[in-house]
Structure formats: structure tokens, C-alpha cells
Amino acid sequence: MTPPPPGEAEEDDQDAPPAGPLLGLRFWLLIGFAAACVAAGLAVATLGPVWFPAA
């Protein structure tokens, strides 16, 4: 697709699918995964020395 000549407004593509929601299911799944990773890191840092004491 070539750009329109200068001075003409570009028309919207009528065949393009509508944009999805910005904060959709994939976003919240990613946020949940990141929170789970942070919680796992905190658990290892807090409970690691208790569960696996230095020999």
C-alpha cells in the first residue's frame, strides 16, 4: 500500500479487524505469572535457609 499524496487525508482501512481491548486476558495472565514469580522468589529467600540449613 502506498502512502496517500500530500494534502489528502488517509482513510481508515475498512477491512482491518477492530483493535482488541488494551487490558485483555493475556495481560492479566502475564501480570499473574509475574506476581507468582515474585512470590516464589520471596518464599525461597525467606524459607530457603530454614528448609536447607548450611552444613
Question: Distance of alpha carbon 10 from its chain centroid, rounded?
Answer: 31
Residue 44 pLDDT class (50, 70, 90 cuts): very high
pLDDT of residue 31: 97
Structure-block grid coordinates of residue 8: 489528502
For 22-50, the DSSP string reads TT-HHHHHHHHHHHHHHHHHHHHHHHHHH
Question: Distance of alpha carbon 48 from its chain centroid, rounded?
Answer: 29
pLDDT of residue 9: 56
Summarize the confidence of residues 31-48 as an average pLDDT.
96
In the predicted model, is pLDDT for residue 27 greater than 90? Answer: yes
